């Protein structure tokens, strides 16, 4: 497993701890077995207990491997400064070997079957999947540039706490499509 010096919390507990911020001596890292495939979600903003968190937890647990959530504090200051600070935090949490999928309104907007194909390609890369959701100001250009894929859940603006369970459900749905499970109903009645 990972080092105890890691700066990213490994639970979905939204309570901040002294370990959630990087320090000058220790870069961000996260526990995972070497060589083991992992899937995680990096998100700006701390969730509160409620239905959104419950739905995320339910679907994240169904995903194989389980999707882990790593939350970071919202940036403060002017919009450009917020994006820069949040990008600094997110970039520090992304490992060089990660396959990064940024969620952005300018990203690809696949249907569920297309997302299932995309997910197969991402997992076939052999890299750890890291999904990234920005704060209220969106993602900085440096995160989009680092991303291996940019995904959109549509042109509508969604509350970020709703995007988390929506993404987890769609990843679960894509996995069910890929295994031939009847969870997804493609046809209309």
Segment 53-64 shows an average pLDDT of 95
Tens digit of each residue's pLDDT (9 = 90 or more) over 94-106: 999 999 999 999 9
Asked if residue 186 is part of any domain, the answer here is no
- Cβ 78 vs Cβ 21: under 8 Å: no
Task: For residues 91 and 108, give the distance between their C-alpha atoms in angstroms, rounded to a whole number.
Answer: 22
> Is residue 7 scored above 70 in pLDDT?
no
Please name the residues in contact with 54: beta carbons below 8 A apart, sequence gap of 6 or more: none
Residue 39: per-residue pLDDT: 95
Tell me, yes or no, whether 137 lies in a domain.
Answer: yes
Count of the separate structural domains present in the chain:
1
Percent of the chain's residues with pLDDT above 70: 79
Confidence check: pLDDT of 137 > 60: yes
Q: Could you tell me the pLDDT band of residue 188, with boundaries at 50, 70 and 90?
A: low
Q: Is residue 158 part of a domain?
A: yes
Query: Is the CB of residue 120 less than 8 Å from the CB of residue 30?
Result: no
Cis peptide bond prior to 65, omega within 30° of 0: yes
Give a yes or no: residue 44 inside a domain.
yes
In a domain, 89, yes or no: yes
Q: What is the mean pLDDT of residues 166-180?
A: 95
106: in domain: yes
Indicate whether 15 pLDDT > 50.
no
The rounded distance, in Å, linking the Cα atoms of 45 and 71 is 6
Residue 13: per-residue pLDDT: 39
pLDDT tens column, 61-97 = 999 999 999 999 998 899 999 999 999 999 999 999 9
What pLDDT does residue 37 have?
Answer: 74
Report the pLDDT value the prediction gives residue 36, as an integer from 0 to 100: 60
Residue 76 lies in a domain: yes
Give 133's pLDDT tier (boundaries 50, 70, 90).
very high
Torsion angles phi and psi, residue 99, rounded to 5: -95, 110
Domain that holds residue 88: 39-179
Q: What is the pTM of this model?
A: 0.80
In a domain, 24, yes or no: no
CATH number at residue 68: 3.40.1280.10
Checking if the pLDDT of 153 tops 90, the result is yes
């Amino acid at each position: 497993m990972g080092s105890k010096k890691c700066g990213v919390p490994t639970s979905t507990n939204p309570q901040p701890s002294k370990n959630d911020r990087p320090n000058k001596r220790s870069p961000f890292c996260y526990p995972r077995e070497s060589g083991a495939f992992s899937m995680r979600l990096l998100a700006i903003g701390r969730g509160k207990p409620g239905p959104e968190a419950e739905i995320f937890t339910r679907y994240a647990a169904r995903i194989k491997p389980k999707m882990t959530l790593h939350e970071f504090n919202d940036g403060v200051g002017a919009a450009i400064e917020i994006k820069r600070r949040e990008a600094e935090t997110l970039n520090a949490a992304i490992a060089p070997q990660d396959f990064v999928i940024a969620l952005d309104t300018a990203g690809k907007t696949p249907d569920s079957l297309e997302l299932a194909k995309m997910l197969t390609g991402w997992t076939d890369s052999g890299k750890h999947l890291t999904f990234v959701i920005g704060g209220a100001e969106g993602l900085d250009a440096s995160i989009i540039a680092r991303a291996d894929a940019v995904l959109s859940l549509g042109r509508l603006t969604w509350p970020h706490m709703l995007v988390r369970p929506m993404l987890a459900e769609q990843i679960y749905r894509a996995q069910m499509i890929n295994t031939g499970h009847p969870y997804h109903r493609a046809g209309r009645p």
